[in-house]
Structure 1
Amino acid sequence: MKKEQLGELILAASDTMYHIAKSLLYEDADCADAIQEAIVKAFSKYHTLKNDAYAKTWLIRILINECYRILRRKSRTVPMEMPLQDQPSTPATDYSELYEALSALPDDMRLTVALYYLEGYSVRETAALLKVSESAIKNRLSRARAKLRRTLDERED
Structure 2
Amino acid sequence: MNFEMRDGHEYIDEMKLLFVEYVKSLGVTADVKEFEGLEKKYKGEGEAMYIAFVDSKPAGCVAIRRVDASTAEMKRLYVRPDFRRTGLGMSMAKIVVEEAKENGYKRLLLDSLPSMESAKQLYNVLGFRSTDAETKRPIRTVVHLTLPLVKEA
Task: Establish whether TM, by shorter chain, passes 0.5.
Answer: no
TM value normalised by structure 2? 0.31
Whichever of the two has the greater Rg, that structure is 1
Structure 1 or 2: more helix by fraction: 1
More strand by share: 2
